[in-house]
Amino acid sequence: MDNAAASWTAVYTSISRAAHQVLDPPPRVIDDPVAVGLVEGSRAEELLACADDFRSPIQCLARSLFIMRSRFAEDELYEAVRAGAGQYILLGAGLDTFAYRQPEWARQVRIIEVDHPASQARKQDYLRGAGIEIGQNVHFCPLDFEATKLSQGLATCGFDPQVPTFLSWLGVTQYLQLAAITRTLLDIQAFARGSRMVFSFIVADTDLDGVDAQAVQFFSQLAAARGEPWMTRFEPERLQQRLLDLGFAEVRSIDPGELERRYFAGREDQLRAPLFERLMRVRV
């Protein structure tokens, strides 16, 4: 990404999450009132004015992805906190809003948002502009994954390596070189025993067809035009084995069919579990 500007994809994701709150019929996959009005284009009246654009097959699939992966990560975070996790690290936090609508059970958890310095600065501007309070348990860790190791960045922002930790890494790996991804995974593999992570990745073209293949072509070209090209994609089985080889105690590729049943069953709109971006869960 352009080092002088915040991430366009983070803004697009935020607007899509707001659209889910305003345009899609209940029940919501994720309740995120903070996203509505956070950035330009995400106020309710703005979304209603261009509602038809958000109902195209590709836009519905992208919105499904953004709300599904966040909901899954937050469900997994809840289980991790119940099991003793005391820290939550959002890698490439973007404009995620969990820290600003956190439930009571998260109040004692240290929340660390890791992101590119430019994107993080812009996010704090958005929060101030919206009058959103930043809780005392929320910490910011500016980091460029390509230039700095995760362990080096976390050492500056109150991270405790002895405390079991939950991490989410959503919508980020496709923008990184494989070497940067591997360095980050190795740092995570050294976290306290019992730490867990959910992360997403884009699958190879050979595994896709239909709207999923169209979405990959459309969004990869759009991201590249915005200065944020996709660099790395994975085949799920090979990635799963690679993670085991790196030393993770447990690795599970999440079946899109499971996510469909869990979050989209019974819906009468176009929202569904996408196939072009997948979720992986690992445990240290």
pLDDT value, residue 221: 95
* Domains of the chain, earliest start first: 8-283 (3.40.50.150)
pLDDT digits (tens, 9 = 90+) for 165-209: 999 999 999 999 999 999 999 999 999 999 999 999 999 877 789
- Span 64-117, pLDDT tens digits: 999 999 999 999 999 999 999 999 999 999 999 999 999 999 999 999 999 999
Question: Phi first, then psi: what are they for 247, rounded to 5°?
Answer: 110, 10
What digits encode the pLDDT tens for the residues 39-54? 999 999 999 999 999 9
State pLDDT tens for residues 131-153.
999 999 999 999 999 999 999 99
Mean pLDDT of the chain: 95
Digit-coded pLDDT (tens) for 214-237: 999 999 999 999 999 999 999 999
CA dihedral 98, 211, 280, 180 (to 10 degrees): -90
Q: 196-202 and 277-283 as β-strands: parallel, antiparallel, unpaired?
A: antiparallel
Task: Dump the DSSP string for 63-105.
Answer: HHHHHHHHHHHHHHHHHHHHTT--EEEEET-TT--GGGS--GG
Strands (DSSP E) contained in the chain are 87-91, 110-115, 138-142, 165-169, 196-202, 250-254, 277-283
Give this prediction's pTM.
0.95
Averaged pLDDT, 275-281: 97
DSSP one-letter code for 211: H
Name the percent of the chain lying above pLDDT 90. Answer: 95
